[in-house]
Amino acid sequence: MLSLFVLLPFLAIVMLNLPLKTVTRQLALWFGIALSAGQVFVVIFQPDVFWNGTDLLGRFFTLRLQADNLSMVMLLSIGIVTFAAILVGRQTIADSRLRFNFMNLVLLSLIGMNGTVLLTDLFSLYIFIEVVAISSFILIAFQRDLNALEGAFKYIILSAVATVLMLLSVSVLLMAAGDTSFSSVAAAVKNSSSSHFVRFAIGIFICGLFIKGGLVPFHGWLPAAYSMAPAAVSVLLAGIVTKVSGIYALIRLSTSVFGPDSSLNAVLMIAGAVSIVIGALAATGQSDFKRMLAYSSISQVGYIILALGCGTKLALVGAVFHLFNHSIFKSLLFVNSAAVEQQTGTSDMDKMGGLGSRMPYTNATSLIAFLSTAGVPPLAGFWSKLIIVIALWQSGYYIYAFIAILSSIITLGYLLSMQRRVFFGILSDKLQAVREAGFGIVFPACVLAAITVGVGLSFPFIFNSFIIPIGAFLK
Amino acid sequence: MNEFSILLPIIIPLVGAMLVIIVRRLGGMKEGAALLATIFSLVTAIMLYGRELNYSLPWAGFGMEFTLRLYHFSAFILLAVSVFAFLITLYCCSFMRGKSYGVWFYFYLLISAAMVNGAVLADNLILMLFFWEGLLVTLFGMIAIGGKEAFKAATKAFIIIGICDLCMMFGIALTGYLAGTMTISKISMSPGSLGSVAFIFLMIGAISKAGSMPFHSWIPDAAVNAPLPFMAFLPASLEKLLGIYFLARISLDMFKLDVNSWLSILLMVIGSITILAAVMMALIQKDYKKLLSYHAISQVGYMVLGIGTCLPVGIVGGLFHMINHALYKSCLFLTGGSVEKQAGTTSLDKLGGLALKMPITFICFLVAAASISGVPPFNGFFSKELVYEGALQRGAIFYLAAVLGSFFTAASFLKLGHSAFLGKVSDANKNVKEAAPAMLLPMIVIALICILFGVYNHFPLSNFIKPILGEQRLAGHEFAINTTLIVITVVVLTGALLHHLFAVKITGSGLKSADYIRYAPVFRGIYNRAENKYFDPYDIGLKIVNVITKTAWRIDRAVDWIYEGLTVRAVYLFSNGIRSAHTGNYSLYIVWSLLGAVLVLIVIMKSV
């Protein structure tokens, strides 16, 4: 019963908000941890209850849920990142009332994300993307200071544009197909491939998703939102929210609903390449830890979209694998930034230095994460980038492959400079009192680092049994 | 004695070396362990002598097999190595007393013995290279333990021999490619055009190991700084044995050199130049050890010349000279060690009159010096006569070079003996005593062997040397000594003696007897340059490398600038541009998004 992925978080929210708040406030955290960890468990061990049987939700609504390999990967990433974000939130949000609100919003976001990756209907997809978006607005503005409100406001404004574009597109496609399920929309797109209306609808839907995913030049909201949001929210936002609502949807729609289509692929490749380069170059000049990571996120998302545009099976496998890896190492970097920000009270890298001696775990995990991001073997990020570059090369996109490799060097450059400015060097007098962050930050960091290293090291063993079968979602 | 016993000459010294390290803290035990190991390997070598054994083990694949072969030639070298290892270890028991690096010396000595044994036994070129290179490491170690200056000399030796070994590696690859096998005993070809190249590269390896010119320049440096027994052990004996062994193998077995080959001429030219140039340098030295070290180079010339003649008589002479040289030269170095240990210096102008203080050392020196000068009836005389005869058959010029070399050898040893052992005793040397028995014994044994091999020269010739060439090659050759050549030799030696007496009378000192040559009109310039290392290939190489390094450094700066200057600046330029575009203005971001949407729509809808 796939709808459990949506129903359980929903049930949790309902239970938490029963008039027993003194009890539930203590329990909220454990609900979140149990749900996210349980999701990871369910994806890995595949218990029968979740994956088979008649769907309760389908009986009352016209919802078709479906879980293929792509959805599995997404559910896994969602579980892991939400787990990390909840732990970070527990550590960084001091007020128990605020923490309770945070938990409710994270659960709401979990509903939205799980729904997004399981649905097979364009309109429902839109609805659930909006659920995620609304919870994100509030999460970003969570602390109600000026910066946070500004970041949230930017996100709302551009999301509104995206909403308009997507809703318009859905209505046009509804007219063309008479139905918004993926299969009938795909059929309508195929039959009326010369229709201006349909092409227009596809175009604006893609643009809406570009905004959600934060691709250049639709990325204006992203650096502000990522860097202004509270630490735990940045982890959630950068690690998984934009990936699900933007990138996952792009992968799903461009492969099995709107495409495969050559001009669509061309758009994706250009947007991907531009995002890679602009993101990397913009990240180079940043002095704010989280802002740099935000731009880096844009650049890494570019790799996924570039591979998606390439369109071969290997490229798509690389794209999904990179999506998974990215959600791991980028949330790890944000966890590290949360640790640093909490302990030093700033995220300005120019004011840091030498923290490695005081924060050994944060230092080590950040090292792993940045090496993985830059694509240094044998970490996980190296393999996914390698697959992408190989796929590009095989398809004859030599220039794109070259851009991908060259940007990797820039990535290494700015992340190395980050590592040096923050963790290496001599500790300044002001930072003498800094200590390692608490368990709630160090533990998820270690778990995420272990995943990155473990996936990287075991890559040769899982390549044929786990990585390549991801491509099975292509029909 | 089964086939595994062929491994013993390699294993015993290695085990001994480990033992030395293990017991080094226990007083006196390290000497005991080293002596025990050398005695065992001597016994093994004696028992293995005269046997033919083969042992093969699959190794690295691709034709690289762990193949060992024991036959009369390798068994003979094995025996000689064991004898020298034993005698020099015995000598060191006394010499090394009170020196901090004693342990490491024994360690390296035993490993070296194992490596030489392995290289000699190896029947696979790659395997031989393995042991050969191992020797390079111990050579470096043995020189380097002598101190800070010695480290420089060790580096020099390491670089020179390393480069030569690299040449040999290339030669081995080429040979293996040409012959289709790496097994030495299966290779037998006449050097064609490519074969000649392979031969020359292998030859570079062989003669550099033997210390011939132009790969010699580390030896005099090492002589000054390295522990003295090292000189007696490696450059004087083991390396000569190994180098000449390999030279003989490549020019007799692997490549069938004959009289008509230009490679033969090349070898003879190298030999002649080495004889003359090195002996001229030896003549003017004012240090006991340094003078000997130049002779260690000069005498290689005779061996290379002898083998280069490609005539049975020359080859027999060259190989006989190899073993003779190892004997008398190690003996000479050991006397040098005694003098250094007892008198505290080896500088000739501070020595003098030691003959009465150290009579046994003096007698051993006398025997060895007579041998090296080719005075009948010592062993050096007979081997040199055979080389002379071979050289004369190939061309009078080679003979002339050899005889002239003999003249200067004799002259320089007269000078050395005169200034070190005769003359007045200086005040500093008044209390010098004879060396310890453990140091005297090896010298006496070697000196006795020198006499034995001279007087009964048929014994080593027919037992050790002639079997190497085999009955076939020797058929129809008599080794009766040519009377005319003997007369000439005697005349030359008498000339050297008269020259010395005359020069001493004029200059009034044994030490300065050769100085008039040093300061003769043409020679003065040459010597000055030689002393400033003008002709040292190592220094020339260093200069060339310096120029290359400087050029490379400039190029590197330029490349660096492209990466560190240009690229970084460009990246920051773009980065700043992009950053300043992100003003944080909502409407700007919306405009971007809408413009992007328009572009996307253009592309998507264009295909309709």
Amino acid at A245: S
The shortest C-alpha distance from B552 to chain A (Å) reads 25
**What would the mean pLDDT of A387-412 be, rounded to a whole number?**
92
> Under an 8 A CB cutoff, do A285 and B605 touch?
no
Look up residue B233 and give its two tokens. 């052990």
Confidence of residue B512 (pLDDT cuts 50, 70, 90): low
Peptide bond into B214 cis (omega under 30): yes
- Residue range B223-232, pLDDT digits in tens: 777 777 777 7
Q: Is the pLDDT of residue A208 over 90?
A: yes
> Under an 8 A CB cutoff, do A410 and B571 touch?
yes
Least confident of A160-174, B64-78, B198-212, B422-436: B422-436
Task: Choose from A345-359, A377-391, B440-454, B574-588 the range with maximum mean pLDDT.
Answer: A377-391
Quick check: B321 and B409 in contact, CB under 8 A? no
> Under an 8 A CB cutoff, do A410 and B605 touch?
no
| B586 contact residues in A (CB cutoff 8 A) | 153-154, 157, 220
Q: CB pairs below 8 Å between A and B: how many?
A: 97
> Under an 8 A CB cutoff, do A284 and B571 touch?
yes
**What would the mean pLDDT of A392-415 be, rounded to a whole number?**
91
Quick check: A250 and A267 in contact, CB under 8 A? no
Q: Which residue of A has its CA nearest to B592?
A: A217
Interface of A with B in 226-265 (CB under 8 A): 261-264
Q: Establish if A176 touches chain B: CB-CB under 8 angstroms.
A: no
**What would the mean pLDDT of B538-545 be, rounded to a whole number?**
80
User: What pLDDT sits at residue A75?
Assistant: 93
| B589 contact residues in A (CB cutoff 8 A) | 154, 157-158, 220-221
B381 against A113, higher pLDDT: A113
Mean pLDDT score of chain A = 89
| A262 contact residues in B (CB cutoff 8 A) | 607
> Under an 8 A CB cutoff, do B579 and A196 touch?
no
> Under an 8 A CB cutoff, do A267 and B603 touch?
yes
Name the residue among A203, A217, A281 with its Cβ closest to that of B601.
A203
User: What pLDDT sits at residue B88?
Assistant: 82
Name the residue among A157, A165, A282 with its Cβ closest to that of B597.
A165
> Under an 8 A CB cutoff, do B604 and A264 touch?
yes
Residues 6+ apart with CB under 8 A from B405: B275, B276, B279, B298, B301, B302
Give per-residue burial for B115-138: e unless 16+ CB within 10 Å, then b: bbbbbbbbbbbbbbbbbbbbbbeb
Unique residue bearing structure tokens 């790890």: A332
Unique residue bearing structure tokens 């509804």: A174
Least confident of A66-75, A225-234, B435-444: B435-444
User: What pLDDT sits at residue A306?
Assistant: 94
What is the DSSP secondary-structure string of B456-519? TTHHHIIIIIHHHHHHHHHTT---PPPHHHHHHHHHHHHHHHHHHHHHHHHHS-STTTTHHHHT
- Residue range B300-314, pLDDT digits in tens: 888 888 888 877 778
Name the residue among B575, B590, B600 with its Cβ closest to that of A206.
B600
Look up residue B547 and give its two tokens. 């120029």
Coil/strand/helix, residue A222 = helix
Q: Which residue of A has its CA nearest to B589?
A: A220
Coil/strand/helix, residue B55 = strand
**What would the mean pLDDT of A378-400 be, rounded to a whole number?**
92
Share of chain B above pLDDT 90, in %: 0
Residue among B50, B37, B32 at smallest CA distance from B10: B37
Name the residue among A220, A262, A282 with its Cβ closest to that of B593.
A220
Q: Which residue of B has its CA nearest to A159?
A: B590
Coil/strand/helix, residue B56 = strand
> Under an 8 A CB cutoff, do A207 and B593 touch?
yes
**What would the mean pLDDT of B77-85 be, rounded to a whole number?**
85
Angle A257-A258-A262 (CA atoms, 0-180°, nearest 5)?
A: 135
Amino acid at A88: V
User: What pLDDT sits at residue B60?
Assistant: 61
Q: Which of B563, B572, B573, B575 to mutate to test the interface with A (most CBs of A within 10 A)?
A: B575
Look up residue A353 and give its two tokens. 């230095």
Q: Which residue of B has its CA nearest to A407?
A: B571
| A154 contact residues in B (CB cutoff 8 A) | 586, 589
User: What pLDDT sits at residue B136?
Assistant: 84
What is the DSSP secondary-structure string of B227-271? -HHHHHHIIIIIHHHHHHHHHHIIIIIIB---TT-HHHHHHHHHH
Coil/strand/helix, residue B433 = coil
- Residue range B517-527, pLDDT digits in tens: 666 666 677 77
| Other beta carbons less than 10 A from residue A75's beta carbon | 23
Residue among A398, A247, A401 at smallest CA distance from A319: A247
- Residue range B268-300, pLDDT digits in tens: 888 888 888 888 888 778 888 888 888 888 888
Q: Is the pLDDT of residue B133 over 60?
A: yes
CA A364/CA B71 separation, integer angstroms:
61
Residues 6+ apart with CB under 8 A from A136: A109, A155, A225, A233, A237, A241
- Residue range B351-360, pLDDT digits in tens: 777 777 788 8
**What would the mean pLDDT of B531-543 be, rounded to a whole number?**
74
Q: Which of A284, A287, A410, A416 to mutate to test the interface with B (most CBs of B within 10 A)?
A: A284
Q: Is the pLDDT of residue B1 over 60?
A: no
Q: Which of B567, B590, B593 to mutate to test the interface with A (most CBs of A within 10 A)?
A: B593
Q: Is the pLDDT of residue A264 over 70?
A: yes
Q: Which of A267, A275, A305, A414 to mutate to test the interface with B (most CBs of B within 10 A)?
A: A267
**Residues in B lying within 8 Å of A, measured between beta carbons:** 571-572, 574-576, 578-579, 582, 584, 586, 588-590, 592-597, 600-601, 603-608
> Under an 8 A CB cutoff, do A207 and B601 touch?
yes
Q: Is the pLDDT of residue A53 over 70?
A: no
Give bridge partners of residue B58 from the DSSP assignment. Answer: B65
- Residue range B455-492, pLDDT digits in tens: 787 777 777 777 777 766 666 566 666 777 777 777 87
Q: Establish if A196 touches chain B: CB-CB under 8 angstroms.
A: yes
| A203 contact residues in B (CB cutoff 8 A) | 597, 600-601, 604-605
Q: Is the pLDDT of residue A320 over 90?
A: yes
Distances (CA, A) of B400 to A50, B404, B595: 102, 6, 96
CA B578/CA A176 separation, integer angstroms:
41
Quick check: B384 and B402 in contact, CB under 8 A? yes
Share of chain A above pLDDT 90, in %: 49
Domain ranges in chain B? Answer: 262-520, 539-606
Q: Establish if A85 touches chain B: CB-CB under 8 angstroms.
A: no
- Residue range A78-110, pLDDT digits in tens: 999 999 999 999 888 888 888 888 999 999 999
Residue B435 gets the label, from left (phi > 0), alpha (psi -120 to 50) or beta, of beta
**What would the mean pLDDT of A350-368 be, rounded to a whole number?**
89
Q: Which residue of B has its CA nearest to A152?
A: B586
**What would the mean pLDDT of B495-512 be, rounded to a whole number?**
73
Q: Establish if A418 touches chain B: CB-CB under 8 angstroms.
A: no
Task: Choose from B190-199, B292-301, B488-497 the range with maximum mean pLDDT.
Answer: B292-301
| A412 contact residues in B (CB cutoff 8 A) | none
Coil/strand/helix, residue B68 = strand
- Residue range A120-131, pLDDT digits in tens: 889 999 999 999
Distances (CA, A) of A15 to A4, A9, A27, A38, B182: 15, 10, 10, 18, 81
ipTM of the complex: 0.85
Mean pLDDT score of chain B = 80
The shortest C-alpha distance from A64 to chain B (Å) reads 29
Look up residue A207 and give its two tokens. 């643009």
> Under an 8 A CB cutoff, do B592 and A224 touch?
no
Give bridge partners of residue B183 from the DSSP assignment. Answer: B124
| Helices and strands in chain A: count of H runs, count of E runs | 22, 0
Least confident of A388-397, B369-378, B425-434, B506-515: B506-515
| Helices and strands in chain B: count of H runs, count of E runs | 26, 2
Quick check: B23 and B29 in contact, CB under 8 A? yes
**What would the mean pLDDT of A377-382 be, rounded to a whole number?**
88
Least confident of A40-54, B49-63, B96-110: B49-63
Q: Which residue of B has its CA nearest to A212?
A: B593
Q: Which residue of B has its CA nearest to A150?
A: B584
Name the residue among B575, B588, B601 with its Cβ closest to that of A285.
B575
Confidence of residue B516 (pLDDT cuts 50, 70, 90): low
Q: Establish if A26 touches chain B: CB-CB under 8 angstroms.
A: no
User: What pLDDT sits at residue A400?
Assistant: 93
Name the residue among B578, B584, B590 with its Cβ closest to that of A282.
B578
User: What pLDDT sits at residue A107?
Assistant: 93
User: What pLDDT sits at residue B514?
Assistant: 65
Confidence of residue B257 (pLDDT cuts 50, 70, 90): confident
Confidence of residue A241 (pLDDT cuts 50, 70, 90): very high
Quick check: A361 and A445 in contact, CB under 8 A? yes
Residue among B499, B527, B300, B517 at smallest CA distance from B418: B499
What is the DSSP secondary-structure string of B534-581? SS-HHHHHHHHHHHHHHHHHHHHHHHHIIIIIIIHHHHHHHHHHHHHH
Distances (CA, A) of A121 to A56, A70, A173: 17, 16, 12
Quick check: B262 and B385 in contact, CB under 8 A? no
Phi, psi of A437 (to 5 degrees): -65, 165
CA B498/CA B349 separation, integer angstroms:
22
> Under an 8 A CB cutoff, do A284 and B575 touch?
yes
CA B157/CA B134 separation, integer angstroms:
14
What is the DSSP secondary-structure string of A28-83? HHHHHHHHHHHHHHHHHH--HHHHSS--HHHHHS---B---HHHHHHHHHHHHHHH
> Under an 8 A CB cutoff, do A154 and B589 touch?
yes
User: What pLDDT sits at residue B62?
Assistant: 66
Q: Which of B580, B591, B595, B600 to mutate to test the interface with A (most CBs of A within 10 A)?
A: B600
| A195 contact residues in B (CB cutoff 8 A) | 608
Q: Establish if A90 touches chain B: CB-CB under 8 angstroms.
A: no
A245 against B378, higher pLDDT: A245
Q: Establish if A205 touches chain B: CB-CB under 8 angstroms.
A: no
